[in-house]
Amino acid sequence: MNPTAPSLNRLAERFAVLRDQYGYTPLDAAGFDAFIAAPGACVVMFADDPQKVPETWDLTIILPEALKGMEAAPRVGLLPPEAAKPLAARYGITLWPSLLVLRDGAYLGAIEGLKDWNVYSSRIPELLAAAASRPPSIGIPVRTVGTGGNPSACH
């Protein structure tokens, strides 16, 4: 038996509550691209196993509160760990849990790791108003083959 299965089951139950109470969309890897490509702004929660990262529970409580009262609330997607982990590198996400903010599929920013409630309530609107940009990537050093790593030796 998988020792993390009970916490993942409870997380799925919490996502169902967020779906039912707030209209949030539980996602999987197959539905992610369609969700973010839909017109308008969205926030996607990248969750980790709450047994490994208990702060995941906190963000499921903070997120609805941080979005409460927004004039044009964004659509919210909820990614469980098995879907979030493979997609994280695409947006340079390295800390859990995280919120990814997009508009019309374009990257606006991310909030990584658990923050104070007031950070979410101020930062999310800032990101929603931001200009689209290229997502950060996880840095991989690039070297030119056959030059001993000296980039000026290639020309």
Q: Which CATH number does the domain housing residue 19 bear?
A: 3.40.30.10
- Is residue 148 situated within a structural domain? no
For the cut 60, the answer to whether the pLDDT of residue 131 exceeds it is yes
Range of the domain at 120: 5-130
Domain count, the chain: 1
Q: How many CB atoms lie within 10 A of CB 35?
A: 18
Among 70, 71, 119, smallest CA distance to 99 is for: 119
Q: How far apart are CA 112 and CA 110, in angstroms?
A: 6
Handedness of CA 112, 127, 75, 86 (dihedral sign): negative
Q: How far apart are CA 119 and CA 124, in angstroms?
A: 8
- Is residue 145 situated within a structural domain? no
- Is residue 23 situated within a structural domain? yes
pTM of this structure = 0.86
- Is residue 58 situated within a structural domain? yes
- Is residue 37 situated within a structural domain? yes
Confidence label for 69 from pLDDT (cuts 50, 70 and 90): confident
Give the pLDDT confidence of 3-18 residue by residue, as tens digits.
Answer: 668 999 999 999 999 9
Mean pLDDT of 110-129: 96
